[in-house]
Structure 1
């Protein structure tokens, strides 16, 4: 198993978290005060949202070689990485290489000098201007067919990986030609063999993105959607179908799994029934993949993403200077995270374990995961009526939930009940 097989990430959007989007926030080293918090959760990775110089929200980059002055300096990042490494925590950066902000130096040169600019072929003319990302005029798309652009991106990745970065989230990876990623990732791996690349892919052929683009994983949006949607609709068939799709990927890669991130409504707000939160978390921490927790979700924070200017603000709030400032609210949800992550830590083989469904219907889903190292059983009652589930006979040891699974494999589930057990 590689180091990434043991990774569980705590995901932070720094501009919001540190109050930097207000213009006078704390600097990156302040995140070191949260390292013990993520470790106490059971995580061992710090996934950072965009930290490079940008015009506004971080995804409109103006200089990939400079830390956003609202967050600090290169020395500040290196200090944070060193403090994280001292505690056994790896750091992932968010790399935005599909598009750049309009004041990116190379694009600004093109605006000044037109076809005479040495960077004229770095961008794609379209209509009266240049191609932009998904209708956002402030986000100018790079020409990924230009070898100079590949050289530029590979150089950026090499620069920061050499300073201790262990992994990269590649923003909007789905919008970039796969051969471009393959060229870039191959070059960077030649210098940094242990680096881990996670591509943001919403839908499509996940396996092809990994194998053709040279990525290690992609974001598992299909499973994310199925988790909350199946619970809200009390339709375990949707989740069972998604788990089968999920399992098909395991021969190629371990997907990057989540129930929340900086781009979506928080899971506590997405679920229409609060008693479904343990079900969502149980799926996240028992099925195969490399999980991440979006900061605040471990305390059950609410936040709704809206499709408007400033519509991300509610899901990207400022945090207190230290974990002590969180107060007592949501400690029960944090404890639930710790309990489920603890199960995951004791059974690291789950990273590539396929799920086998044994009970499906009437609001009930029960499945097992098996490997030579062990086996684990999960039973979930999506509905508001008592229900039964049947799993294979075994000497099941209760690990979490409000129901037990007896040696015959039978379990009686209260309304919204659930159970996780390991085989002895």
Structure 2
């Protein structure tokens, strides 16, 4: 049995790096004034629920001088993000929407602005906090020229290593965690640099948090090694699954499913009771879309992520297939920790977003995908078929990254199978179903008699969904690419995020064939005006003319209105000229 609490097995996690997500200044010295940026998370809650997300893992939120991993105060929200009161609102809103909260616990080290280290700099050998830090040497020095040497994490001297064998330090950190639980009712902690932490400290914080919340979840950041050293009944519930992180993108790049299949089987054999934290990218590594040599294989990557043993985690923005690679120097991580606005994500892949929404809904309905056993059914370099089973419920997953269609022969005791990704049904004859999967596609096959779930968000979206639109007079080079489905993407796109309406100026009208620019960037051409089948509300049908062509639908009134962009009144879409 897994050591993890039951709720994590039913979860899909959304990982946010708040300082980047909220567009904060790179350093605390560059900031002044008062902001409430952290409340932006509240605006994204409908987006999270559309993906069936029920846990959010937030990177560092506490006061620091730079990137958040150089903590200066464990009890105060970073002023670049907002206030403690703002964060209280965020946590309350998340919990009210059934979303649990996991915070980043940076306990191996503190920043140079931490009060105890500042006291050491001021009072040197006389400081009562000398015992708080590892290997202080007042006969040495560092590049900061403090006149003494100390141990920094990985030779980074802006990260001062704490002495976790000092009981006063441990009590100080436990009191901070107590404050997090009592004030914000957090549900779990991800431990940064977990391989550097003292084992007795981990055991103590494990028992401490369990005494406060019996279902509290602890996850350690581990890159290499035997995961059982850290994930066991006395320490962490699980660790970051870097082995399968690499295996997922690498097996798709090399078209070699033997790699990831080996990793899955090895882990289940060695760590079967550890409910892994699975991911395809995060705040420290390149985005999956940048790692893949063939972008079209990204859909199979996410199907695998959501159907393998462990809890899946999506890094903010990657649900749209955005790219980002690590750079060099002080700003090496900027490209993988961007500020994002839901209604203005350049090059967004809404087909991928809808795929992840489907995966989340499917996983939440089938316990076999949450904690069922795993069995390999067919494995070739470019195709992979496996099943998950729990209490008689069997789910079959097929992946195809070959150069064409591939037909799986799926042995099953069910009378008929249904693919939850496409809705297609397959007859079973002689205990076998022949299931043909197109190139770079996947199937999730279940008993066809299992009713499909009806999500509240999906039902609301369906009520507001415009009728399908036929577009007649497009030039050859403007022909739509999969976009005429006018699927849920327009529903997501039509909701303004944090930009209040300022009304429609008198006389402003829509121009069919007009070239428009969105107030946050991006160029579009208006194709037509349609009517919602149910409400008869007028809807603008328009196509983006940057990146990959994509067609959108938005209510006419919203398209024409002015917006209040931080005090500046401007058109949501500014007319440029008529396109020939």
Q: So what's the TM-score if we normalise by structure 2? A: 0.69
1:311 and 2:321 matched: no
1:153 and 2:157 matched: no
Residues 359-387 of structure 1, C-alpha deviations (whole Å, 9 max, x = no match): 11242211111111511111112222444
Cα-Cα RMSD: 2.2
Maintained 8 Å contact 1:182/1:212: no
Offset of residue 233 of structure 1: 0.8
| In structure 2, C-alpha distance between the alignment counterparts of 1:344 and 1:130, rounded to whole Å | 48
Q: 1:336 matched to which residue of 2?
A: 355
Residues 357, 125 of structure 1: alpha-carbon distance in 2 compared, 3 angstrom cutoff? same
Q: Which of 17, 21, 24 matches 2:25?
A: 21
Offset of residue 390 of structure 1: 3.8
Q: Which of 268, 274, 297 matches 1:247?
A: 268
Q: Which of 396, 415, 421 matches 2:439?
A: 415
1:358 and 2:377 matched: yes
Offset of residue 235 of structure 1: 0.9
Q: 1:175 matched to which residue of 2?
A: 196
Q: 2:555 matched to which residue of 1?
A: none
| In structure 1, C-alpha distance between the alignment counterparts of 2:427 and 2:177, rounded to whole Å | 52
| In structure 1, C-alpha distance between the alignment counterparts of 2:241 and 2:208, rounded to whole Å | 26
| In structure 1, C-alpha distance between the alignment counterparts of 2:305 and 2:388, rounded to whole Å | 13
1:295-306 equivalences under 5 Å are 295-306=316-327
1:4-15 equivalences under 5 Å are 4-15=8-19
Residues 147, 363 of structure 1: alpha-carbon distance in 2 compared, 3 angstrom cutoff? same
Offset of residue 412 of structure 1: 3.3
Of residues 378-387 and 53-62 in structure 1, the stretch that sits farther from structure 2 once superposed is: 378-387
Q: 1:280 matched to which residue of 2?
A: 301
Offset of residue 404 of structure 1: 7.3
| In structure 2, C-alpha distance between the alignment counterparts of 1:108 and 1:95, rounded to whole Å | 21
| In structure 1, C-alpha distance between the alignment counterparts of 2:255 and 2:346, rounded to whole Å | 33
1:389 and 2:408 matched: yes
Q: 2:367 matched to which residue of 1?
A: 348
1:78-227 equivalences under 5 Å are 78-125=88-135, 128=140, 129-163=149-183, 164-211=185-232, 213-227=234-248
| In structure 2, C-alpha distance between the alignment counterparts of 1:329 and 1:240, rounded to whole Å | 30
Maintained 8 Å contact 2:228/2:271: no
Offset of residue 212 of structure 1: 6.1
Unaligned runs of 5+ in 2: 141-148, 449-580
Residues 195, 362 of structure 1: alpha-carbon distance in 2 compared, 3 angstrom cutoff? closer
Residues 122-164 of structure 1, C-alpha deviations (whole Å, 9 max, x = no match): 1112672111111212111111221222111111111101122
| In structure 2, C-alpha distance between the alignment counterparts of 1:241 and 1:350, rounded to whole Å | 19
| In structure 2, C-alpha distance between the alignment counterparts of 1:47 and 1:298, rounded to whole Å | 15
Secondary structure of the residue that 1:28 maps to in structure 2? helix
Offset of residue 234 of structure 1: 0.8
Maintained 8 Å contact 1:405/1:419: no
Secondary structure of the residue that 1:324 maps to in structure 2? coil
Give the count of matched residue pairs: 422
1:400 and 2:421 matched: yes
| In structure 1, C-alpha distance between the alignment counterparts of 2:396 and 2:8, rounded to whole Å | 24
Q: Which has the larger radius of gyration?
A: 2
Residues 422, 191 of structure 1: alpha-carbon distance in 2 compared, 3 angstrom cutoff? same
1:36 and 2:46 matched: yes
Residues 333-383 of structure 1, C-alpha deviations (whole Å, 9 max, x = no match): 110101111110111342222321121124221111111151111111222
Maintained 8 Å contact 1:399/1:422: yes
Offset of residue 50 of structure 1: 0.4
| In structure 2, C-alpha distance between the alignment counterparts of 1:30 and 1:236, rounded to whole Å | 39
| In structure 2, C-alpha distance between the alignment counterparts of 1:38 and 1:174, rounded to whole Å | 31
Q: So what's the TM-score if we normalise by structure 1? A: 0.93
| In structure 2, C-alpha distance between the alignment counterparts of 1:161 and 1:251, rounded to whole Å | 30
Say which structure, 1 or 2, has more relative contact order (CA 8 Å, 6+ apart).
1
Residues 176, 356 of structure 1: alpha-carbon distance in 2 compared, 3 angstrom cutoff? same
Maintained 8 Å contact 2:130/2:136: no
Q: 1:47 matched to which residue of 2?
A: 57
Offset of residue 231 of structure 1: 0.6
Q: 2:314 matched to which residue of 1?
A: 293
Residues 302-337 of structure 1, C-alpha deviations (whole Å, 9 max, x = no match): 1112343211101111122xx334489322111010
1:269 and 2:282 matched: no
Secondary structure of the residue that 2:219 maps to in structure 1? strand
Unaligned runs of 5+ in 1: none
Offset of residue 402 of structure 1: 10
Offset of residue 80 of structure 1: 0.9
Maintained 8 Å contact 1:18/1:26: no
